[in-house]
Amino acid sequence: MCGIVGYTGPREAYPVVIKGLKRLEYRGYDSTGVALLNGTVKVYKKKGRVAELEEYAVGKELHAHTGIGHTRWATHGEPSDRNAHPHTSRSGKLAMIHNGIIENYVQLKKDLVNKGYHFTSDTDTEVLLNFIEDIKENNNCGLEEAIRIALKRVTGAYCILLINEDDPGTIIAARKGSPLVIGVGKGEHFLGSDASPMLEYTKEVVYVNDYELAIVKPDELILKNLGNEKITPFITKLDMDLAAIEMGGYDHFMLKEIFEQPSTIHDCLRGRLDATAGTITMSGVQNNIEAFKTAQRIIIVACGTSWHAGLVAEYVIEELCRIPVEVEYASEFRYRNPVINKGDIIIAISQSGETADTLVAIEKAKEQGAVIFGIVNAVGSSIARLSNGGAYTHAGPEIGVASTKAFTGQLAVLTMMALKIAKEKGTITDERYSKLLFELDSIPEKVEAILKGANAIKAIAEKYKGAADALFLGRGYNFPIALEGALKLKEISYIHAEGYPAAEMKHGPIALVTEILPVVFVATKDSYHEKIVSNIQEIKARKGKVIAIISEGDDVIPSLADDVFFVPPADEIMAPLLSCIPLQLLSYYVGIAKGVDVDKPRNLAKSVTVE
Ligand code: F6R
């Protein structure tokens, strides 16, 4: 949430910062701003997107070799020009951008107001910046020392970047809870919330850790802790190319990412799954195999779509490994006083690896001695680094705000893990193990086949785009997919949608059924097929409109449903990997038909780094 960019070096800073902000716009798009340092600090900021700032900046003084930029997801104060970052300090000499929330800003603000400070915005950021400047003036110390003192006194999360008129060429950065990557070039440095703003300039990056402060000059990077001790920066080589973060001919990132799934799932399985040899190689699982084999319980913590992947995993792990699984919303788990016993394993699932609630939930569980296993997409992210072991989903950068390919990557990793643990534990027969390995291996091909039918989904989307509400129903492995389908439709098309277990529908939601309510059944062939057919009959008896995602060869549901979409047959354990694809397409096409900016839907942002 909120994207931050910085540059210092021989290039013109403004174009580097603007390009970087465009890459990070998925993290928030309520307002945009830049601060440039060329003798004095100049700030240009605007409500709206980067393109609007660019228009506004035409003809302005933009020459500078040091600059910072921000794209905002509003927390404190409405989206507006005055609440946009960067903010400047009372003296006008300092400019700062911030990603996160300063929780004790009200008290800090009161103290500053009592000292005569006036604030021009409603933000916690302007308070923190002036708090820093106040310390600098009163303690007669340098900016670096003032930042250290201030950060010890604030609570909350932050990644901040500051420039100072009295120290040209230097950017000071610090983080706690919000991500920061520094790209190391020749005589230049780049800063970003992720590595995308620096990809074409350098492949060498430093992931800054919590409670670290970076003093960044064109030819020098000094890393320190808040105790002012130097830390040797650990340089990581980026394994990502520019094509991965570009649209590649598609109209939207979301569509590109949906269509990438045959290859992203393949990449996730590649080098791990060998169906012919009957092996699954996952070093993170192998290194913790005794813990998994003897686990008394697995607790999965995640948010949103990743939480839905956790729900699928609950069904799969309990079935194959016979280990009890609980799936927790990270935001609830972190504030409860959860019972964590010896022998419990916590699995954290996160695309971004930076979700604040998930991060803090596992920090707390780790403090209580739990083993943390991370299933993460963003390499080098905070959750990945905090975990005791883990497995990457290898879906590549996901830019569309709605998660699609990362979700199927999570499902693929979790299914592989469950199979591996079941085999090691002896809770699966050799025959079933082998069958499921081949089934998993064939998923990319089946997803490819589903995507060939995208136009059929587009036609269904056209038919139902005017709906005000929708219901998504599924049973067993497909129940979490019903939840996910409803979430996707809500966020991408703004249609109110609810997901339910199909049988639960008659305990309340059936009251909503009318002849205009679309009810989407996720009803691929499984052990409950006859039951879900009865649920479809119950909706039809009340004249609801039924859209059904079903398996090829199903000759019962087509005669009941108003619209059907066929997916290739698969073992029920693999069904979620297939049945989610038409639902992703459905939300995409409804969103497009309604004119929604599907890559950046209203009020949302990717990578939720505030709680
Ligand atoms: C929905 C979506 C969100 C995320 C959630 C968790 O399409 O993308 O619900 O799944 O914010 O994010 P991560 O997986 O990055 O922890």
Regarding whether 258 and 220 lie in a shared domain, the answer is no
Q: Are residues 484 and 586 in the same domain?
A: yes
Report CA(263)–ligand 1 centroid distance (Å). Answer: 21
pLDDT digits (tens, 9 = 90+) for 348-366: 999 999 999 999 999 999 9
Instruction: Give distance in angstroms: CA of 463 to centre of ligand 1.
Output: 28
Residues 459, 333 within the same domain: no
* Closest residue by CA, ligand 1 atom 11: 304
Give the pLDDT confidence of 128-137 residue by residue, as tens digits: 999 999 999 9
pLDDT, tens digit, for every residue of 512-551?
999 999 999 999 999 989 999 999 999 999 999 999 999 9
Residue 607 pLDDT class (50, 70, 90 cuts): confident
C-alpha–C-alpha distance, residues 515 and 511, integer Å: 12
Among candidate residues 415, 441, 467, the one where a domain is terminated: 441
Q: Which residues line ligand 1 (CB under 6 A)?
A: 303-306, 350-352, 355, 358, 402-403, 487, 491, 607-608
358 CA closest ligand 1 atom index: 16
Q: Phi-psi region for residue 54, left (φ > 0), alpha (ψ -120 to 50) or beta?
A: alpha
Dihedral, 569, 573, 576, 581 alpha carbons, nearest 10 = -40
Cβ-in-10-Å burial (0-12, 13-18, 19+) of 107 comes to: exposed
Would residue 458 show up in a list of annotated catalytic residues for this protein? no
264 plus 379 within the same structural domain: yes
DSSP string over 525-571: SSTTHHHHHHHHHHHHTTT-EEEEEEETT--SGGGT-SEEEEE----
Best residue among 194, 334, 355, 584 to mutate for probing ligand 1's pocket (most ligand atoms within 8 Å of CB) is: 355
Ligand 1 atom at shortest distance from the alpha carbon of 355: 16
Q: Domain check: are 231 and 264 in the same one?
A: no
Give residue 44 CA to ligand 1 midpoint distance, Å.
31
Q: Share the mean pLDDT of the chain.
A: 95
Same domain, 189 and 301: no
Q: Is residue 254 part of a domain?
A: yes
Pocket test of ligand 1: the residue of 27, 178, 306, 408 to mutate, having most ligand atoms within 8 Å of its CB, is 306
pLDDT in tens, 302-340: 999 999 999 999 999 999 999 999 999 999 998 988 999
What span, in angstroms and rounded, lies between the C-alpha atoms of 208 and 219?
Answer: 18
Judgement on whether residues 484 and 602 belong to the same structural domain of the protein: yes
Ligand 1 atom nearest residue 308's Cα? 10
The answer on 309 and 417 residing in a single domain is yes
Q: Band the pLDDT of 245: cuts 50, 70, 90.
A: confident
Asked whether residue 29 is domain-assigned, the answer is yes
Range of the domain at 225: 3-243
Q: Choose among 79, 196, 214: nearest CA to 144.
A: 214
The one-character DSSP state at 183 is E
Query: Do 321 and 192 fall into the same domain?
Result: no
Q: Residue 86: is the preceding peptide bond cis (ω within 30°)?
A: yes
CATH assignment of the domain containing 501: 3.40.50.10490
Is 567's pLDDT higher than 90? yes
Query: Tell me, what's the pLDDT at 244?
Result: 84
Burial class (CB in 10 A: 0-12, 13-18, 19+), 224: middle
Q: Using alpha carbons only, how large is the chain's radius of gyration in Å? A: 25
pLDDT at 65 over 80: yes
Q: Which of 2, 159, 268, 303 is catalytic?
A: 2
- Catalytic residue, candidates 256, 420, 446, 606: 606
Q: What whole-number distance in Å separates Cα of residue 381 and Cα of residue 361? A: 15
- 189 domain residue, yes or no: yes
For residues 441-455, average pLDDT: 98
Distance 120 CA to ligand 1 centre (A): 33
Strand partners, 221: 216
Nearest CA to ligand 1 atom 3: 304
User: Is 298 in the same domain as 209?
Assistant: no
Pocket probe for ligand 1: among 301, 312, 352, the residue whose CB has the most ligand atoms within 8 Å is: 352
> Among the atoms of ligand 1, which is closest to the Cα of residue 607?
15
| Ligand 1 centroid distance, CA of 357 (Å) | 11
Distance 325 CA to ligand 1 centre (A): 21
Residues 526 and 398 in one domain: no
Q: Are residues 322 and 363 in the same domain?
A: yes
Q: Is position 410 within any domain? A: yes
β-pairing, 518-522 with 469-474?
parallel
Mean pLDDT of 151-162: 95
Nearest to 167 by CA among 220, 212, 124, 117: 220
For residue 240, count other CB atoms closer than 10 A to its CB: 16
Tell me, yes or no, if 2 is annotated catalytic.
Answer: yes
Query: In the structure encoding, which two tokens stand for residue 477, read together?
Result: 């492995």
In this structure, is residue 447 part of a structural domain? no
